[in-house]
Structure 1
Amino acid sequence: MIHILAAVSPEATIGKNVSIGPFTIVHANVVIGDNTKIDSHCEIGYPSALADGLPLVIGANSLIRSHSILYEGSTFGERLTTGHRVTIREKTVVGINFQVGTLGDIQGSCTIGDYVRFHSNVHIGQKSTVGNYVWIFPYVVLTNDPHPPSDISIGATVEDFAAVATMSVVLPGVTIGKGALVAAHSSVARDVAPDTVVGGTPAKYLCDTSKIKLKNDPDTSAYPWRKHFHRGYPESVVAEWLKEFS
């Protein structure tokens, strides 16, 4: 259902059973997948010369909450979910079941994998690369300018299954390795090895992730987290994880 107070371009491609709320604008260069719900006061397909004419493509079964702005030129897999007041700029390519919290800010030309979780107030600088099943917690910043202000943009990389805890800053060109953990309030200036924990300013190696135990089960390692945390993931994916660790 398209609300009578929504402004939807006749040139936009709207799938079946799509809901668009009042005062939302959908521009021409937009493709919206089936069963998607867009709340009020959103701007979908915001025009940008930097998009080079590419459309905004939103996968099926997505939920875009109020006051969010998605630029043209980006592509999202099915089951995108945003919080309120999210901004995602052009040429961002995202896999399936991406969740980004309220006031999330993705500055464009980024690559983000499947089943990625960004909490609220996360800022992702241009040219960042985020793998699959990554967790980024509130107020984390991925930076991209090695000596600001400049015209040089070098994105950070966060590999599969890594987690970056709240209020951490990852500096330009840094790679957070697969399964690594960045502790809260850290400033990461060097690459982080897979399955390790770093923390502090500047962040330093603390231990391997396997050394951290669950608070409610001190005999069990908290990492790799996919051995025990499965909420929100398909049974087929969980089965592969359990098979990996059996």
Structure 2
Amino acid sequence: MIHNTAIISNKASIGNNVTIGAYTSINDYVEIGDNTVIENYCEIGYATPLAENKKLVIGANSHIRSHSVFYQGSIFGDNLVTGHRVTIREKIKAGSNLQIGTLCDFQGDCVIGDFVRTHSNVHIGKESKIGNYVFIFPYVVLTNDPHPPSDTLLGVTIEDYAVIATMSVILPGVIIHEHALVGAHSLVKSDVPPKMVVAGNPAKVICETAKIKLSNLNESAYPWPKHFHRGYPESIIAQWEKEFGC
């Protein structure tokens, strides 16, 4: 269903069973997959020369909430879900099942894996690289300029299963290795080893993640796929059971 106030370019490709809300604009070089919902007052395929006339591709079964802006030139896999008022820049390549919280700002030229979850008010700097099954909690900032303002960009890398807790800032070029945990309000200036907890300003290694216990159970909270399965398909949970012994 397309609302009668929506503006759809004749250069856009709209899949089957797509819903487009009131006063939403679908611009040139946009491809929207089947069964996608785009709510009211969105701007999809915002033109920018930085996109180099590349398509914006939104995968099937996605849901983009009201007042969101997506620039031209990015590719998103199936099952994309956003909150309200997100801003997504050009030339992002993202996998499936990406969740973007309300008021997030993703800058261009980023690579994002599958099943990444960012909560509200997260800023992803240009040239960031994010793996699979990553959690990024509210008000986290991934920076990219080592001596601002400059033309040097060093994107942050976050590897699979890493967790970045609320209000943390990750400085340019830092690598957060797999299964690591960054504690809340941390300023991370150097690489974080795999399966380690860092916290503080500047962040320092605290302990192995396996030493953190769930508050309601006498068992380790990490790796988190051992006990947290909400929103993941049975096939992924079965894979975790083999890998982590859930």
Q: TM-score, normalised by structure 1?
A: 0.99
Q: Distance in 2 between matches of 1:233 and 1:134?
A: 13
1:156 is matched with 156
Structure 1 residue 78: Cα displacement: 0.3
Deviations along 1:179-223, whole A, 9 cap, x unmatched?
000000000000000000000000000000000000010x20000
Q: Distance in 1 between matches of 2:11 and 2:158?
A: 37
Q: Distance in 1 between matches of 2:19 and 2:119?
A: 25
1:8 is matched with 8
Amino acid at match of 1:178: E
Equivalent residue runs for 1:17-28 within 5 Å: 17-28=17-28
Q: Distance in 2 between matches of 1:178 and 1:49?
A: 35
2:240 is matched with 241
Structure 1 residue 53: Cα displacement: 1.2
Structure 1 residue 11: Cα displacement: 1.2
Amino acid at match of 1:111: V
Deviations along 1:154-183, whole A, 9 cap, x unmatched?
100000000000000000000001000000
1:50 is matched with 50
SS in 2 for 1:184: coil
Structure 1 residue 52: Cα displacement: 1.0
1:199 is matched with 199
SS in 1 for 2:239: helix
SS in 1 for 2:243: helix
Amino acid at match of 2:229: H
CA contact (8 A) 2:225 2:244 kept: no
Where do 5+ consecutive residues of structure 2 fail to align?
none
Q: Distance in 2 between matches of 1:242 and 1:228?
A: 10
1:108 is matched with 108
1:227 is matched with 226
Q: Distance in 1 between matches of 2:20 and 2:96?
A: 21
Structure 1 residue 244: Cα displacement: 1.2
Q: Distance in 2 between matches of 1:89 and 1:28?
A: 15
Structure 1 residue 69: Cα displacement: 0.3
Identity among equivalent positions (%) equals 64
Q: Distance in 1 between matches of 2:67 and 2:152?
A: 31
Amino acid at match of 1:105: D
Q: Distance in 2 between matches of 1:131 and 1:74?
A: 17
Q: Distance in 2 between matches of 1:185 and 1:203?
A: 9
Cα RMSD of the aligned pairs, angstroms, is: 0.5
Q: Distance in 2 between matches of 1:128 and 1:16?
A: 33
1:142 is matched with 142
SS in 2 for 1:237: helix
Q: Distance in 1 between matches of 2:26 and 2:240?
A: 39
Structure 1 residue 120: Cα displacement: 0.1
Where do 5+ consecutive residues of structure 1 fail to align?
none
Which 4+ stretches in 1 moved above 6 angstroms?
none
2:180 is matched with 180
Equivalent residue runs for 1:11-90 within 5 Å: 11-90=11-90
SS in 2 for 1:197: strand
2:91 is matched with 91
SS in 2 for 1:220: coil
Structure 1 residue 245: Cα displacement: 2.5
Amino acid at match of 1:52: E
